[in-house]
Every structure is written in C-alpha cells, then in structure tokens.
Chains A and B, each alone.
Chain A
Amino acid sequence: MKLYSEKEILQLLQSENTQRKAFEQIVKQYSQQLYWQIRRMVFSHDDANDLLQDTFIKAWQNIDSFRGDSKFTTWLYRIAINECISFLKKQHQSEKVDLDAPEADISLQLESDSYFDGDEIQLKLQMAIASLPPKQRMVFNMKYYQDMKYGEISDLLGTSVGALKASYHLAVKKIEQLLNEMD
C-alpha cells in the first residue's frame, strides 16, 4: 500500500473530483491506529467498530470545515476521542456500567469476549484501566501502549503537559494499587 503524506492528502481533498478518493486513502492509512485507540477505551470490538465508523462519517461530513489549523491526523484523532468520551458518558448515564465498580462489568464482558485473548494478569490490568475516568484512561493508554510524548497528547486532548503528567502519575499509582489488591 502506497502511503500518502499529509500534504498530498490535503491537496487531493481540495478538489471535488479527488475528494472521495483522498478520503478512501485516509481511511486506509488511519483506520488501524484509530481503531486501537478506540478499542482500548471501550474494550468491545463491536463498540469500537461502530465508533470508528462514526468517526469517519463525522470527518467526511465536516471535511470542508477543516481549515488546516492543526495537522489532519490531530483533527481526526480529536473526532475519535470525542466520540469515545460521549459514548462512555452515555454508557454511564444509561447505567449499563456500574459506576461504583466499572472493573467488575469489564471483567464479565472480557471473559466472555471471543476477541479477548489475554491471560489472567492482562485481564486484571484491563479491569484496573476500566476503573479510571475516561480522560485519565485515555492518557494512560496513549502513554503506556503508544509511547506518545506529553506534547502530542496535549495537542490532542487540549490539556497542559503538567496536568497530563499528574494525571498519568495518578493513573499508574491507582493501577498498581488495584493490581496489588486483586492479587
């Protein structure tokens, strides 16, 4: 698969004749990384698939409003992040997740999920991650699994580097504590 640079994609997006083709390239190039970002937040493949599709549909519908103030990938990531956070909020409001013990729900969900093949300790880690508030969960995943720099996370989430460092530190401490309690 030929990878297009961001500049090339933006040029193709500007013409009506090549806009759809350019968007197809965007879906090809970014679907995997966006999928994993979403999947680690919502755990279920079906939910992640729905949210990924919603992300691309929103991006397509608003593509003309992208003014290039930020990188295109940053814009795309922000849409995915907003979709995830809205989804998790709705999930909490509809009480599909036990607010006092979200990790217990995730444990049941993952144990019966055919698309989860982690061992016991990995299940415990996911349960501990599920106990974090959505934004803190996002920060932890971006830093721990994707090795993203605080500056990059700051661009995506619109939170200061200092606040992100504090958030990650608290997330690590909470996860360690929960893992110890589960042993």
Chain B
Amino acid sequence: MKEEDEILKRIGKRNPFKVPDNYFENFTSEMMSKLPEKEESVLKMKTHTLKMRLRPLYYVAALIIGAVFIIQFGFRKTGSTEKEGVITKTEVTASDRMIDELVDRSMLDDYSLYVYLSDADGE
C-alpha cells in the first residue's frame, strides 16, 4: 500500500486545469517570435562585462582625485605661516609626486588615465 493511497482513492489523478484552445499548438511559433536574436544578447552581455571590468579603474581614478584633494587641502593648512609663493611651490611639487606615485602603482599610462578620469567625471 502506497502512502498516498487514501488521496488517490478519494480524488484520483485527473488534471483539473485547462488551457485556452490551441494554446500548445500556437505556443512554439509565439515563443520563437519573442526570442531575442542571439547577436543582440551576446552584444548586451559584452557591454555589461566591459562596464564591470572598468569599474575597478573608476575606483582608482576616484582614489587619485581624492588623494590630490586631501594633499592640497593639507598643505594649505600646514603652510599657512609661510609666504604665499613658497606654499604654492611646495604644494605643486608634493601633489605631482603623489600623483606620479599613484599612477605608477595603478600601472596606468597617460592616455588610459585621461580616459578613466574623463569617464569618472562624466558619471
């Protein structure tokens, strides 16, 4: 005796659900007409992947901009007692050195850096 025998005896297995007339006959052609072209879906996936791959570089660009901002702000504060001309010189030298170091560490060439900074600004 199967455990579901009581339900089977009382109700059986008849399917109580129906479908609209010719539903299955027409389903395949309707489904195929809604199916996206393979090229489209591949292209979509590629765009998505490229964006995802660039994302870490946006972060690096944002980090550089942030670092430059902090350094400039910091030097202005600490150098407030010095003469104005000296402060500007130190500020520029320190910022340039810091940027060069960060660019070297992130292994970006000048063109890529320009592209990433432009993209990051545009977002």
Interface residues of A (CB under 8 A from B): 16, 19-20, 23-24, 27-28, 31-32, 35-36, 39-40, 43, 45, 49, 52-53, 56-57, 60-61, 115-119, 121-123, 125-126, 143-145, 168-169, 172, 175-176, 179
- Are B7 and A172 touching (Cβ within 8 A)? yes
- B interface list, Cβ under 8 A from A: 3-4, 6-7, 10-11, 13-20, 23-24, 27-28, 31-32, 34-36, 38, 41
Known: A36-B17, A115-B19, A179-B10. 8 other contacts (CB 8 A): A24-B28, A28-B28, A39-B17, A45-B17, A53-B34, A57-B35, A60-B35, A123-B16
11 A-B pairs with CB atoms under 8 Å apart are: A16-B38, A24-B32, A27-B31, A35-B19, A45-B20, A49-B23, A57-B35, A115-B18, A116-B16, A116-B18, A119-B16
Cβ–Cβ contact B34 & A57, under 8 A: yes
A144 touches B16 (CB 8 A): no
List chain B residues, Cβ under 8 A from A125: 7, 11
Question: Of B4, B6, B16, B20, which is within 8 A of A122 by CB?
Answer: B16
B13 touches A116 (CB 8 A): no
Q: B10: nearest residue on chain A (CB-CB)?
A: A121
**Chain A residues, CB < 8 A from B35:** 20, 23, 56-57, 60
- The answer to whether B7 touches A20, judged by C-beta atoms less than 8 angstroms apart, is no
Distance, CA A53 to CA B32, complexed state (A): 10
Residue of A nearest to B6 (CB): A176
Q: Are A144 and B7 in touch, CB under 8 angstroms?
A: yes
Q: What residues of chain B lie closer than 8 Å to A145, measured between beta carbons? A: 13, 15
Given A27-B32, A31-B31, A53-B31, answer yes or no on A116-B7 (Cβ-Cβ < 8 Å). Answer: no
Q: Which residue of A lies closest to B34 (CB)?
A: A53
Query: Are A61 and B16 neighbours in the complex by a CB distance under 8 Å?
Result: no
Contact of B17 among A19, A23, A116 (CB under 8 A): A116
Q: How far is the CA of A152 from the CA of B20 in the complex (A)?
A: 30
A179 lies within 8 A of B24 (CB):
no
Q: Which residue from A19, A60, A144 sits with its C-beta under 8 Å from B4? A: A144
Residues from chain B with Cβ under 8 Å of A56 in the complex: 31, 35
- CA A39 – CA B17 in complex, angstroms? 8
Contact of B14 among A32, A43, A45, A122 (CB under 8 A): A122
Q: B20 to chain A: which residues have CB within 8 Å?
A: 45, 115
Given contacts A16-B38, A61-B41, A169-B3, contact A27 B16 (CB under 8 A): no
Question: By the criterion CB–CB under 8 Å, are A61 and B31 in contact?
Answer: no
Cβ contacts under 8 Å, B18 to chain A: 45, 115-117
